[in-house]
Amino acid sequence: MSFLEKIKNYFKRSREKHKLTFINDSNYHEKWSLRVSSFNLISLLGLYTVVVLVITLLLVRYTPLNSLFVNDNGLYNDQEIERQGELIDSLYEATESNQFLLNNLKTILSDEEFEDSATNNLDKELENYTPDFTKSSADSILRKKVENAESNKSRYAESESYDFFFAPVKGLVSHSFNEQEGHFGVDIVTLKDEPIKSCLDGTIILTGWVQSEGNVIAVQHKGDLISVYKHCSAILKKRGELVKTGDPIGIVGNSGENTTGPHLHFELWKKGHLLNPEEYISF
């Protein structure tokens, strides 16, 4: 018998019907019967297997059961570690920046000298330097350009110092600047809840509460200049924020122990030295 004939006989036998009967064992009465072929049984078994596989795959794909088969904890942990690392780096940079600003403020207010490594190195080099005072035509031309530039720069610096200050509030000066008495600024009496404005462009370097001065704000400006605002009832800016000239940074109040009514105590510091605000600002 050839192979093809064997295949044909097998399919022929698989399609032959068989009777499957269920009989009561006690009385031998037939309960029910089913006529099926081997082909039908195989088909039903295959269909049942496919249905079970499909249901299992759906459960694994769309339910929490997938955690039993798929382990993605490693990828999640790597992403979380990378995110935490970036957060730590940003916090470190912010902390370093704030510490730098606070150290500068402390140096200025304590009248200490700034440490400048570049200047120190330059001083050491100049100790062994012998200048050559021989003039040349190129030197004369350069000297003239530098003198003109310095002249323009001086005029600009003077105008910047005296013409571009913005009055933080408008009011009556009740107590003027007097360094001998320990009054390092001016007290300006004005209406309660008036906005306090920045006198120049700068960066907020200090905000907080002092028992004697109440709410205090300090702003770092160009040229190592710091303006200080005391006795505020509220602070409108956060440390590290950039402000423009005339931007509201606080509200006039009566906070702190050293105050007898709503007013602003305003100070100006330049490289650790006090300035009289009334020489620069008309209140």
Q: Is residue 221 part of a domain?
A: yes
The mean predicted confidence, pLDDT, of the chain is 78
- Which CATH number characterizes residue 228's domain? 2.70.70.10
Q: What is the C-alpha R_g of the chain?
A: 44
More confident residue, 21 or 241: 241
pLDDT value at 67 more than 70: no
Rounded to the nearest 5°, which phi and psi values hold at 107? -65, -40
pLDDT value at 131 more than 80: no
Residue 55 structural domain = 3-62
Q: Is residue 91 part of a domain?
A: no
Q: What is the pLDDT of residue 18?
A: 73
Tokens encoding 91: 């916090």
Q: What is the pLDDT of residue 138?
A: 57
In the chain, % of residues over pLDDT 70: 74
Q: Is residue 124 part of a domain?
A: no
More confident residue, 9 or 46: 46
Place of tokens 């269909």: 47
More confident residue, 121 or 15: 15
Q: Is residue 120 part of a domain?
A: no
Q: Is residue 236 part of a domain?
A: yes
Bridge partners for 119 per DSSP: none
Number of domains composing the chain: 2
**Closest among 203, 205, 201, 224 to 216, alpha carbons compared:** 205
Q: Do residues 197 and 242 touch, judged by C-beta distance below 8 A?
A: no
Q: What is the mean pLDDT of residues 158-173?
A: 72
- Of 62, 92, 109, which residue constitutes the final position of a domain? 62
Q: How confident is the model at residue 193 (pLDDT cuts 50, 70, 90)?
A: confident
**Closest among 193, 159, 174 to 266, alpha carbons compared:** 174
Per-residue exposure over 247-260, b if at least 16 CB sit within 10 Å of its own CB, e if not: bebbbbbebbeebe
Rounded CA-CA distance 32/180 in Å is 117
Q: What is the mean pLDDT of residues 86-105?
A: 79
Q: What is the pLDDT of residue 57?
A: 87
Rounded CA-CA distance 176/31 in Å is 115
Q: Is residue 122 part of a domain?
A: no
CA of residue 126 relative to chain centroid, distance = 43
For the beta carbon of residue 58, count every other beta carbon within 10 angstroms.
11
78 exposure class (CB count in 10 Å sphere: 0-12, 13-18, 19+): exposed
pLDDT value at 260 more than 70: yes
Coil/strand/helix, residue 75: helix
- Give residue 42's identity as a one-letter amino acid code: I
Q: Do residues 216 and 235 touch, judged by C-beta distance below 8 A?
A: no
- Of 33, 62, 91, which residue constitutes the final position of a domain? 62
Rounded CA-CA distance 227/24 in Å is 105
Q: Is residue 195 part of a domain?
A: yes
Q: What is the pLDDT of residue 127?
A: 58
Q: Is residue 73 part of a domain?
A: no
Q: How confident is the model at residue 195 (pLDDT cuts 50, 70, 90)?
A: very high
Q: Do residues 213 and 204 touch, judged by C-beta distance below 8 A?
A: no
- Of 62, 85, 103, which residue constitutes the final position of a domain? 62
